[in-house]
């Protein structure tokens, strides 16, 4: 078993106790099954930048900031220092996103720690206790396909409520765990409020889910969950427990009615405020002492 230097360092420093076996190799990282603090975990080892096939496209990095203007300038400039900083930021971004989604209650692995190029997290297991397979390897009957599609659409909505769009979601980065689907891989995740590509990438994520599950439940092809979800998000009406219908036109009618009602309520509040101000001014005038009339 060929062990990456980054993972070997974690073993030598005692952060992990054993390296059991490789689990998978992807376009930007390799995943190993390891033992840490007496528990079996997954260790995601990022590949060196020159060995990766995945490119840090502007679609994903737009809107990201380190909070350090010098560091941001270096990353934008492409110097050797900037390249190192960009690589570190790419890895830190995934761990930061996972913490954010863990706090939101999203169905993702629990993050344990980020070492030097190694992300340590809970191992997602199937019903037999083995590492959970990708969704892409599974077959579903119609009812289960509808149920799992609905659950995953709800997870996309929950992430959006936390301000996150996965950006690369498909059946290949969702695991079939013993208690339902678990979403993985977040280095390309984007901030929904700061990235102008957010809507397009969200619609693509939902379309990928629908394409996969419509193989087992063809009626899903007519649904428009992504459009409905984004509309509610734009109107600040989306909640983690929102009951989505997949009917965009109906959702637009509801939202339009809500907008009209909000405008009416705002107009009523403004009118009431104006009346209150006018009444206060009238009271102030009435309370002024009368000036004595001067006689010629």
Say what the pLDDT of residue 285 is.
Answer: 76
The closest of 56, 245, 75 to 167, measured between CA atoms, is 56
Length in residues, the chain:
296
For residue 50, how many other CB atoms are within 10 A of its CB?
5
Query: Mind listing the pLDDT tens digit for each residue in 256-273?
Result: 555 555 656 666 777 777
Token pair for 202: 């969200």
Q: Which fold has domain 5-234?
A: Transferase(Phosphotransferase); domain 1 (1.10.510)
Q: Is the pLDDT of residue 226 over 60?
A: yes
pTM beyond 0.85: the answer is no
The closest of 51, 34, 52 to 43, measured between CA atoms, is 34
Q: Is the pLDDT of residue 77 over 60?
A: no
Token pair for 267: 């107009």
Percent of the chain residues past pLDDT 90, beyond the cut: 62
The closest of 166, 174, 172, 170 to 200, measured between CA atoms, is 166
Are the CB atoms for 46 and 117 separated by under 8 Å? yes
The closest of 194, 253, 237 to 62, measured between CA atoms, is 194
Are the CB atoms for 120 and 41 separated by under 8 Å? yes
**103-116: average pLDDT:** 94
Say what the pLDDT of residue 75 is.
Answer: 47
Strand-pair partners of 30: 25, 45
Q: Is the pLDDT of residue 25 over 70?
A: yes
- Under the banding of pLDDT at 50, 70 and 90, the label for residue 192 is very high
Strand-pair partners of 34: 19, 41
Residues 6+ apart with CB under 8 A from 252: 231
Say what the pLDDT of residue 181 is.
Answer: 97
Percent of the chain residues past pLDDT 70, beyond the cut: 78
- Under the banding of pLDDT at 50, 70 and 90, the label for residue 276 is confident
DSSP state of 27: S
- Whole-angstrom distance, CA of residue 9 vs CA of residue 115: 10
Say what the pLDDT of residue 225 is.
Answer: 96
Decide: helix, strand or coil at residue 199.
helix
Q: Is the pLDDT of residue 223 over 90?
A: yes
Residues 6+ apart with CB under 8 A from 101: 108, 159, 162, 164, 186
Give the CA-trace dihedral at 92, 96, 97, 99, to 10 degrees: 140
Query: Mind listing the pLDDT tens digit for each residue in 31-75?
Result: 999 999 999 999 999 987 645 554 556 666 776 664 555 555 544
Are the CB atoms for 85 and 93 separated by under 8 Å? no
**8-14: average pLDDT:** 92
**Beta strand spans in the chain (E):** 18-25, 29-36, 39-46, 111-114, 118-122, 164-165, 174-177, 180-183, 190-191
- Whole-angstrom distance, CA of residue 99 vs CA of residue 65: 17
R_g (Cα) of the chain, nearest Å? 27
For the chain, what is the mean pLDDT? 85
- Whole-angstrom distance, CA of residue 171 vs CA of residue 209: 7
- Whole-angstrom distance, CA of residue 15 vs CA of residue 11: 6
Query: Mind listing the pLDDT tens digit for each residue in 142-181?
Result: 999 999 999 999 999 999 999 999 999 999 999 999 999 9
The closest of 222, 224, 232, 229 to 254, measured between CA atoms, is 232
């Amino acid at each position: 078993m060929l062990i990456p230097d980054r993972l070997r360092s974690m073993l030598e420093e005692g952060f992990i106790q054993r390296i059991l076996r490789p689990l998978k190799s992807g376009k930007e990282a390799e995943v190993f099954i390891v033992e840490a603090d007496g528990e079996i975990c997954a260790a995601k080892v990022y590949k060196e930048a020159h060995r990766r096939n995945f490119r840090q496209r502007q679609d994903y990095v737009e809107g990201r900031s380190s909070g350090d203007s010098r560091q941001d300038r270096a990353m934008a400039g492409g110097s050797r220092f900037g390249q190192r900083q960009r690589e570190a930021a790419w890895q830190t971004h995934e761990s930061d996103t996972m913490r954010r989604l863990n706090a939101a209650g999203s169905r993702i692995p629990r993050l344990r720690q980020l070492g030097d190029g190694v992300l340590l997290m809970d191992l997602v297991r199937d019903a037999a206790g083995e590492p959970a397979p990708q969704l892409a390897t599974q077959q579903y009957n119609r009812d289960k396909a509808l149920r799992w599609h609905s659950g995953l659409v709800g997870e996309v909505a929950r992430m959006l409520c936390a301000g996150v769009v996965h950006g690369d979601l498909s059946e290949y980065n969702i695991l079939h765990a013993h208690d339902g689907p678990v979403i993985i891989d977040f280095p390309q995740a984007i901030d929904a409020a700061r990235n102008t590509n957010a809507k397009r990438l969200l619609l693509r994520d939902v379309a990928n889910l629908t394409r996969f599950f419509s193989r087992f439940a063809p009626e899903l092809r007519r649904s428009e969950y992504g459009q409905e979800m984004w509309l509610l998000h734009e109107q600040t009406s989306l909640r983690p427990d929102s009951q989505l219908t997949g009917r965009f036109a109906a959702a637009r009618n509801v939202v339009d009615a809500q907008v009209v009602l909000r405008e009416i309520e705002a107009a009523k509040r403004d009118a009431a405020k104006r009346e209150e101000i006018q009444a206060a001014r009238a009271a102030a005038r009435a309370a002024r002492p009368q000036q004595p009339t001067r006689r010629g």
